[in-house]
Amino acid sequence: MSAKANILQALRQGLANAPGPLGDSDYQAAIAPYAFTHADAVTRVKQLLCAAHAEVIDSTHDTWPADLTRVLQQTGMPATLLAPQTDCTLALRAYWADRHDVPSLRLFDQAIDCWKADLFQIDAALTECEGAIAATGSLIIWPTPQAPRTLSLVPPLHIVLWQTRSVWNTLFEAMQQAEWASRLPTNALLVSGPSKTADIQQTLAYGAHGPKRLIVLAIDEPCP
Domain residue spans of the chain:
36-220
The reported pTM is 0.83
Phi, psi of 49 (to 5 degrees): -60, -45
pLDDT of residue 46: 96
pLDDT of residue 203: 76
Distance of alpha carbon 189 from its chain centroid, rounded? 10
pLDDT of residue 119: 87
% helix, strand, coil for the chain, step of 5: 35, 20, 45
pLDDT of residue 42: 96
SS3 per residue for 56-87: EEEECCCCHHHHHHHHHHHCCCCCEEECCCCH
Q: What are the E-state strand segments in 76-212?
A: 80-82, 105-107, 124-128, 131-133, 138-141, 157-163, 167-168, 189-191, 196-197, 205-206
**Mean pLDDT per 10-residue section of the chain, whose length is 224 residues:** 77 71 61 83 95 95 93 86 89 89 87 85 93 95 89 92 95 92 88 84 77 94 58
* CATH superfamily assigned to domain 36-220: NagB/RpiA/CoA transferase-like (3.40.50.10420)
Distance of alpha carbon 39 from its chain centroid, rounded? 19
Helix axes 87-96, 64-74, angle to 10 degrees: 70
- Intra-chain end-to-end CA distance of the chain, in Å: 51
Cβ–Cβ under 8 Å, residues 60 and 219: yes
Q: Output the CA torsion 193→166→44→18 (10° steps).
A: 0
pLDDT of residue 28: 61
pLDDT of residue 44: 94
Q: CA geometry: angle at 92 spanning 143 and 149, to 5°? A: 15
Q: How far apart are CA 147 and CA 152, in angstroms?
A: 9
